[in-house]
Structure 1
Amino acid sequence: MYKVFLVDDEPLVLEGLKLLVDWETHGFEICGEARDGEEALQAIGQIRPDLVVTDIRMPVMSGLELIRQARESLNSDSHFIVLSGYSDFSYAHTAMRYEATDYLLKPIDSEEFDRALRKLRADLDKHRQAALAKANEKLAFARYSLTMLVQGMESSGIAQQAANRLGIGPDTEVCVILAEERLADHRESVQRAIEDVTAGGADMLLFPFDDGIGRTGLIAAGKPANVVNVLSNLRANIAKHAAADVWLYVSDWGLGPSYMHKLYEQAVQLRDNRPFGTVLLAEEVYGVSHSDSDEPVPAIVMDYEDELVRFMESGDPQSITEAVDSLFARLYSEGTPPSVARAIASDLSVVLLRRYPSSDTEMDRSPNTVSTALPYAGIRELQSTLVRLCVNASEKLGRSEKKPMVAEAVRIVKERFRKPLKLRDLAEELQYQPAYLGQLFKKETGVSFHEFLNTTRIEEAKSLLRRTDMKIAEVAKNVGFSDAEDFSRQFKSIAGMPPSAYKNQAKRGS
C-alpha cells in the first residue's frame, strides 16, 4: 500500500476525501492529515508519504508554498495532487512548475479523481519496480565485490570502492562470520534467514556473501561494545528464522577491506578445525583461540596403530565413526594443538591408505600424493577421511581370506626361526598392522605368535639334543636363542624339564 497525506483547512473537505474516495481499492492508505501548510510540512518530513493531496488557499502556508518548501527544504519526492476552487491558470501553472502530479478543481469529481489515482498508481508501481531492480543490481554487485575481497581476488580496486559505498572504509573494524547448518538440506533456509536478519537491522552493519564454494557468510562492520551478546542474538535469530541448528564461526577483527581475505581464511580454519583452535564465545558461536604459542610445535611421537586396529575390527561403520570421534575428543581434552592433531590425523590416514589402498574414487591416490595434500585439509575433513579409510579397510579385511595370510606367517616362522624374528618385522613384510596380525594369528592357531615361535624353536632343540652331542649353549644359539638362560627357561616351560635332563633322558632311552 502507498501512503497518502491529506491537507485542507476545511474539515468537511477532509471528511469528504476520506469517505468519498475508495483509497484501498487504488492501493493507498491514509497516513495523516493537516489543517494548514506549516503543520503539513512538518508531518511530511517525518512520514515521507507517497502522495499528498492539498488545497491551495490555506492559512499560515498555502498549498503551493507547501509544495515548494517540501521540494527544496525536505528534498521530498512525494507526489502532489492540488485541489482548488479557483480556475485561475496561474495557480495551475505554478503547481506544475513545482512538479505537482495533477491539478483538480473543486468540487471534487469522483470519476476524475479515480482516473488521477489510477494513473498515479501505475507511475508509482513502475517507479518502485525500477527502484527495486536498481537496488537488487547494487546488492548483487556489492555481494560479488565482497566475494572478491574475502577470496583475495581483488586487484583493480573496484571491490574496495564498492565496500566503501557500503560504509566499510579503511578504518572500519570488520570481521568475517561463517554460518554452518547441521543438515546440508537446510543450507537454503539458512541463507534466506541471513537475508531476513540482516535486512531487519542490527547493532552492527551486516553484509551477506556466498563465497561460491558452498560457504555462506557475513561481513560485520563496526564492532559493538557488547559484541558477544550481539553475536549470540544473531545466531539465535538466524536459527529461529531458518528453523535449523546453526553454528557461527567468527574471525578476529581487522581494519578495512584489505583484511577481509585474511579474516575469511581464519573463519574457514575455525569451521574446518572445530573444536581445535577455537574458543566458545556463546552458545554455538566459536571464536579464535589465542592460547597456543606461535613457536613451532616440537615433534611428538604418538603411536595410534592399536587404535586403528580397534576401529577396523569393529566392522560396523557407526562403531568406527564413534571410535574415531572418541580419539579426536581425547586429543582435544588433552590440549593437543591443532597442528599436532592435524599431523596425527594425516599420518594415520596415510598409513591406512598405504596398507589398504582405497577403492573410493575420491581417495584413489598414491600415499605420497595424499601425504602432501592432507596436511592442508581441516581437522574435521581429515577426521571424515580417516573414518572412510577405516571403513574401507574393515570391509577389505572382512572380504579377504585370512587363512592364507596366517599360513604364510607360519611358513616364514618355520623357515626363519633360527634367526632373530619379531612380530613387527613379520607384519611389515606381510603389510599388516602388528597388533591385528598377532590377534588373527592367535585366533587361527590357538597360540600367540611368540608361543608358536618358541615352541617351533624348542621342538628343533629337542631334535638336536637327541641326535647330536652339541652343548646346550650351542643348541640354544642354533635354534635362535641369543641367551642360554632364556633358552633353558623356555625349554622347561614347554618340555616340562630342563634341556640337560631331557638330553640325559634321551641318552638313557637310546
Structure 2
Amino acid sequence: MATKLIIADDEPLVLVGLQSMLSWNELGIEIVAVARNGKQLEDAIAKERPDLVITDIKMPIKSGLEVLKASSKTYGRIPLFILLTSYEEFSFVKEALTYQAVDYLVKLELTEQSLRSSVTKALQLLETLQAESGHTFPLLERSAMQSFRDKFFVRLFNGLIDSRQSFEKQKQELQISFDESWYAVCYVEIKSKQEEAEVNLYYSTVGMLKETLGRYLTTYITSLDLHHLAITFCLTSEQAEHYRTIIRQVLEKTLQVIYNYFSVQLVCSVGLTVQDPYHINESFLSARQLLASSSDGHTILMAERKNTEGSSFDLGPFKVRLTRAFEELDADQLAKVIEDIAKEMQDQCISALQAVETASNILYMAITLLPDGQNLVQSAFADESGGYRQIYSSATTAQCSTYLRQLAHGLVEQLQSRKQDYRAKVVANIQQYIKENVARKLNLGEVALLFGFSQNYLSSLFSRYGGCSFVEYTTSAKIAAAKEMMAKGDLKIYEVADKLGFESSFYFSKVFKKVEGISPRQYLQHLQRKRS
C-alpha cells in the first residue's frame, strides 16, 4: 500500500527539488499534494489525510510548526512530520520535537542520502504506529484511487462505459466531481532526450502539471503511457465562453515552467468542448485527431469543429466485445476482436491518421485496463527496435493493422501464460479493498463497477480464486474487524455494529453468531474469562 506524502515549501526550486530528489515510487510513496504556504498545507492535510509531511518550518500565512501543532491536536500522531530548517531556526526545531516531529533537515546540508535516511526512519515509525494502533487507511488508497480513476477515464475516452447509470455510479465511487458546465480534453505528448530516466521524468512532469494547472483551472490528469497523457479541463459557463484563450494561456505558462525545470517539451492538442461529461470521448478523439494531422510545429493546438467532423474510425460495433475481453482478461476474445478491428480498418480503406489513432486507443486500453499493462505491452514488442511506440511513426493503414495483430499476439501469449496468476491477483486486490473499506456497506455491483468488471464475472472470479463468495468474504472481514474492536474493550456492541455499517445491533449479532457460533455478548464474556 502506497504511503501518502505532502511536500510544502515556499521556495519553488526547493519544492521541485524535493519532488525529484528521490525515486518516491520505489520507496512505495506517492506525492499526493504540494503546498507553498501553511494554509495550503493545512487544507491539503484535511483533504488528503497523508501519512507523511515534509515541510519547511517557516512559511507564509502559517508556519510549518503551527501546522504541525494543529495537525497533532486534530489527527494525532499521523501524519508524521519531517521539518526543513535553516541554521538559525534551531529554537523552533526543539519546540517541534516536543510535538514528536520525526526528524529535521538543514536545507543547506540536504542531500539525497540524508533525505532518504530521514524518510526511511519515518516509514519504519509509521509501520510501527499502524501496527500498534490498528490504524486504518482512508476509504481508498490514493495510489489505488488514481489507478481506478485512470481506468475510468480511459474507458470514458473510448466510449466503453456501457450506460449512464454505470457512469454515475463510478464517478460517485471515485469521488470525481463533474459539476462544471463544459469540458475539454487536452491530449499531451511528452518529448525528452533523457530516455534513460523516462519513468522518473514522466512522474515529475505529471506532478508539476497537477500543481501548476491546479492553480488556474479544475483538471483531471490521466496517464496513458510513459510519453502521453490526457488533461480533462472542467470549465464554468463563464470560462467556456473564452476557453480557447484561457486554456492556451494556462498551458503556455505551464509548459514554460516544466521546460525550465526538466528540459522537457510538451506538445498539447486541445479537443472540442462538450457539455455532457458522459460524451467526453468526443473531445478526446478530436484532440487525438488534431495532433496526428498537424505538422505545423506548434506546441499548443486547438481543435475546430469543421476540421474534425466524421474523421474517426468507429469502434462502436466492437465496443461490447472489446469491453468484455478487457474485463474478463479473455486472451482469445481479445485476439479475435483486435483482428476484426484490424481487418475492418483495411476493408474501409481509412486514412493512415485514422488508423494510427485507432491503434493508439487500443494500445492505451491495454496499458491501463490490463494488470501490469505497461509491461505486457512492452513484452509484446520486445524484439522491435522502436518498441510499442513504433505505432506513432506508422505511415499506412496496413502497418497499423500489422501492429495491432502483433499487439494481440503478444498479449495473448502473456495473458495465457499468466492468466491464473493475474486473476488471483485481481481477487487479492479486491480482498484488500474490502479490508480497507470494511466499515462501508459494500455490495458486489458497486465493487464490480469500480474494478471494471461485470457483476456476474466478478462473482464467478471471486468464488474460483477467493475460496468463497464475495458476500462470504465481506462478512468474514467485517466479523474479523468486529472481534478486533471488541478485544480492545473500548466500544459497546451497538457501537461496533454501527462502525462496521450494519443496519442494527440485532442484525450484527445475528451475523456474528452465524459466523462464530456464539453471540457478540458471549464472545466478550469469553474474552473477559481469558484475561482473568
Interval containing the TM-score (normalised by the shorter chain): 0.3 to 0.5
State the TM-score, normalizing by the size of structure 2: 0.34
